[in-house]
Chains A and B, each alone.
Chain A
Amino acid sequence: NAGVTQTPKFRVLKTGQSMTLLCAQDMNHEYMYWYRQDPGMGLRLIHYSVGEGTTAKGEVPDGYNVSRLKKQNFLLGLESAAPSQTSVYFCASSRTGGIEQFFGPGTRLTVL
């Protein structure tokens, strides 16, 4: 039981490049979330999903897209990376809403 895993762990992009971050969970959870963590800002919600095939915007969604084609996977895409997207990205999941969320190890992204 691996819990929540994230791929890749580290990535460096140039401004304008695109990439996809993958989150996978093996706990059969319905809800999945993408957060970003920045110094002095705390963690903030980017997008979330309440089940397979659903996505919704969180607090800071601009510049990101997401997809949840399979229940166990939640993908976060950056179409045209900007230096302001340099951050640590965390994925989380929960069995349903309003209960304990479990976090992945994070992806450290640097945009030059």
Chain B
Amino acid sequence: KQEVTQIPAALSVPEGENLVLNCSFTDSAIYNLQWFRQDPGKGLTSLLLIQSSQREQTSGRLNASLDKSSGRSTLYIAASQPGDSATYLCAVVSGAGSYQLTFGKGTKLSVIP
């Protein structure tokens, strides 16, 4: 059974700092990996999707990398801003048929002004 772990569970950084969020998964046979952002009491906003054949994806200040063989992904946020404060979720699709997402429990990020 696929398991997804995100470390750390919470992170607090000063504004302007570059930071890295980590995600690991136990089964390397994945179709894709998706990073989401969730604000308190809100739904999930898709940030980046990396297909299994890709190594990284970039969107603005965000860069996500994927290393299937080691079962790891990182989300790099450059020049963090208070508006980046949210919970970041990593999820993988690893099964044919349902193509369900298996989620990590998230990293709660606080960017201090």
Stretch from A12-20, A71-79, A97-105 at the B interface: A97-105
Give the docked Cα–Cα distance between A45 and B101 (Å).
Answer: 8
Q: Are B44 and A99 in contact (CB under 8 A)?
A: no
Q: Are A106 and B101 in contact (CB under 8 A)?
A: no
CB distance from A87 to the nearest CB of B (A): 14
Total interface residues on A, CB under 8 Å, equals 27
Q: Which residues of A contact B104 (CB under 8 A)?
A: 42
Total A-B residue contacts, Cβ distance less than 8 Å = 63
Known pairs A98-B31, A98-B93, A101-B34; A42 contacts B103 (CB<8 A): yes
Q: Are A48 and B43 in contact (CB under 8 A)?
A: no
Q: Could you tell me which residues of chain B, from 71 to 113, have a CB within 8 Å of some CB in chain A?
A: 89, 91, 93, 96-101, 103-106
Known pairs A40-B105, A98-B31; A103 contacts B98 (CB<8 A): no
Known pairs A98-B93, A102-B46; A43 contacts B101 (CB<8 A): yes
Interface of B is mostly: strand
Q: Are B100 and A48 in contact (CB under 8 A)?
A: yes
Q: Which residues of B contact A105 (CB under 8 A)?
A: 42-43
Can you name 4 extra interface pairs (CB under 8 A) apart from A40-B105, A43-B101, A92-B44? A50-B98, A98-B99, A102-B46, A103-B36
Interface positions of A (Cβ within 8 A of B): 31, 33, 35, 40-45, 48, 50, 56, 58-59, 90, 92, 94, 97-106
Provide 22 A-B residue pairs closer than 8 Å at the C-beta atoms, listed in order of the A residue.
A33-B101, A40-B105, A42-B4, A42-B104, A43-B103, A44-B103, A48-B98, A50-B97, A50-B98, A56-B97, A56-B98, A58-B98, A97-B93, A97-B96, A97-B98, A98-B99, A99-B49, A100-B49, A101-B34, A103-B43, A103-B45, A104-B43
